[in-house]
Chain A
Amino acid sequence: MNFKVLFSTMKVQMKQSFARPMFRFCLLVNPVVNTILLYEMYRNSGSDNFMAYVVLGAGLMALWGCICFSSAGDINRERYSGTLALIYAAPAGFPAIILGKIIGNTLMSLVTLCISLITAVVLFRVPLHLENPLLFLVALLSAIVTFITISSVIACLLTLSRKTELYMNCLEIPIILLCGFVFPVSVLPNAVQFASRLLSPTYAVELLRMSVNGCEDPALFREKLLMLFLLTLIYAVLSAFLYKKIDRRVRIAATLEVS
């Protein structure tokens, strides 16, 4: 892995993404709107810590939106601007370039969490507690890694198809619901919960919430962290495998460009 390629791609990606009005909307406006919406939904819930569901929920929804519409949508933008073929054939290697793009987007998208927090504090002046900052940091870093890995799998699969926009629209809301961004997954039917448990963001969200509310059961925190780590590892292996597979497939199926 060439770190210069990774960093220069991250820099270029951040510059390009921020120049797009739609991305700025997702990054700056979405978390504000999500926070207002969730606050109105939760204010009579009886819960006195709005951090767990309002701030985190709104921030994560916006974060996932940015990842979906940028990390995934970028493949299509590159395809339509004729640069997908160029980066695909560059000696730096396509996986390194895509990874740089995803890391750049994900790091920039973390701003959504800060905006949700500021919105909740400034607009509603509600009580916000972070019981265990150290565990929150561990959970947040793990969440970032898992979002990067899952984006990598998605970006890889989307290289194969020209119907990228359709798929990324199909991905946004189901992941928010399945992974319990704004409610505990335990309220979902059992069969649906099974699908939730196969998705690493579910554990990331639970870990974040545990650290916000105060971790009463350290063993449970470790267990969920381990599950998150294992699923992230599986996604990483799957991603590496898929990149090898698509390397041949895209050139047979001719999906690098719009002809």
Chain B
Amino acid sequence: MKNTVINVEELKREYVKRGFFGKTKKVVKAVDGISFNVEQGEIFGLLGQNGAGKTTTIKMLTTLLAPTSGTCEVLGYKTFGEEKKIRSRINFIFGGEMGVYRRLSARDNLRYFSNLYLIPEKVQKERIESILKLVDLADRADDLAETYSKGMIQRLQIARGLINDPEILFMDEPTVGLDPVGARMLRDIIKNLKADGRTVLLTTHNLAEVEELCDRLVIINKGKVIAKGTPSEIKGHEATLEDAYVKLVQEVTA
């Protein structure tokens, strides 16, 4: 029996921008009534153009942002109101070079986040060593993160995202800036997570990556879902998923 771990229904998020004296008010609809669900053990893709609402959706799912309306549930709990029941069971990685303490070493970063995730001391040591090996940072584990290359910082972010052995891992453009070897390593990590029964929700602009990894996906544009299904269903008769994606986006923006 399938177990739904992410349930999103008619989800909306609006940002209100006020003028200098608060007289003018502009409402921006970042997410405008999207619906989808993710089953346990799936790799699920969330695709869309820049500004489509992918990051806003991930922030709502990871308990960082309140939805304006609609249902947003992770592991059966509301992400706004029941977040404490979710946080220790998920983790998230945002692409780019943010999200690590640059004046700490990789090992100190991981040790600190292990403490913040209340991981017992006995488990910590073993897990940190194995994750450092997994992301190929064991040799530089005691160097300050500020001395790392962009790719190494990103691998450290991935390591941080795995520190609590999450049931669901949210990844927002995790391969941005990674070299081909690093990107391959990340794809292997994602496949291994799936093999372990973990769920991954992924946003990326790399459609070859989506074809290789994702079981199902949704494409959103200007906050609305414009397509959903398996990569082959969305690809249809087009030669590649990229062709199908471009056609879909052009159709709705025409």
- Chain A positions within 8 Å of B, measured between CB atoms, are 2, 4-5, 8-9, 12, 15-16, 19-20, 81-83, 85-92, 97, 248, 251-252, 254, 256-257
Contact = CB atoms under 8 A, between A and B. Distances in A.
Contact of A83 (B84, B101, B111): B101
23 contacts: A8-B115, A9-B112, A12-B104, A12-B108, A81-B98, A81-B99, A81-B100, A81-B101, A82-B96, A82-B99, A83-B98, A85-B59, A88-B64, A89-B63, A89-B64, A89-B92, A90-B116, A90-B117, A91-B164, A251-B63, A251-B65, A251-B80, A254-B65
B113 A90 contact: yes
B7 interface: no
B191 interface: no
Nearest to A78: B101
A16 B101 contact: yes
A97 B113 CA distance: 11
A9 B118 CA distance: 13
A89 B92 CA distance: 10
B247 interface: no
A15 B87 contact: no
A83 B100 contact: yes
B87 A90 contact: yes
Contacts of A12: 101, 104, 108, 112
Contacts of B113: 86, 90
B116 A87 contact: yes
A86 B65 contact: no
Measured as residues with beta carbon below 8 angstroms from the partner, the interface class of chain B is: 20 to 34
B107 to A, nearest CB: 12
Contacts of A92: 115-118
Contacts of B249: none
A8 B92 CA distance: 22
Contact of B64 (A2, A81, A85): A85
Contacts of B101: 12, 16, 81, 83
A88 to B, nearest CB: 7
Nearest to B94: A82
Interface of B: 15, 59, 62-66, 80, 83-84, 87-88, 92, 94, 96, 98-104, 108, 111-113, 115-118, 160, 164
A8 B119 CA distance: 13
Nearest to B15: A254
A25 B242 CA distance: 54
Given A81-B102, A86-B99, A4 B115 contact: yes
B64 A251 contact: yes
Contact of B117 (A9, A83, A91): A91
A20 B102 CA distance: 11
Nearest to B100: A83
B111 to A, nearest CB: 8
Top 4 A-B residue pairs of the complex, sorted by shortest distance between their CB atoms: A82-B98, A90-B116, A91-B88, A251-B66
B19 to A, nearest CB: 16
Given A16-B103, A81-B98, A81-B101, A97 B66 contact: no
A137 to B, nearest CB: 32
A91 B119 CA distance: 10
Contacts of A15: 103-104, 108
Contacts of A82: 94, 96, 98-99
Nearest to B121: A4
A248 B101 CA distance: 26
A87 B63 CA distance: 12
A97 B15 CA distance: 28
Contact of B103 (A2, A19, A86): A19
A248 B102 CA distance: 29
Contact of A252 (B66, B98, B115): B66
Nearest to B84: A91
A53 B173 CA distance: 56
Given A12-B112, A81-B99, A82-B99, 9 more contacts: A16-B101, A81-B101, A83-B101, A87-B116, A90-B113, A90-B116, A91-B117, A251-B66, A256-B64
A15 B146 CA distance: 14
A257 B63 CA distance: 13
Nearest to B55: A259
B49 to A, nearest CB: 16
Contacts of A90: 87, 113, 116-117
A2 B118 CA distance: 9
A91 B108 CA distance: 18
B70 to A, nearest CB: 15
A258 to B, nearest CB: 9
A233 to B, nearest CB: 27
Contacts of A91: 84, 87-88, 116-118, 164
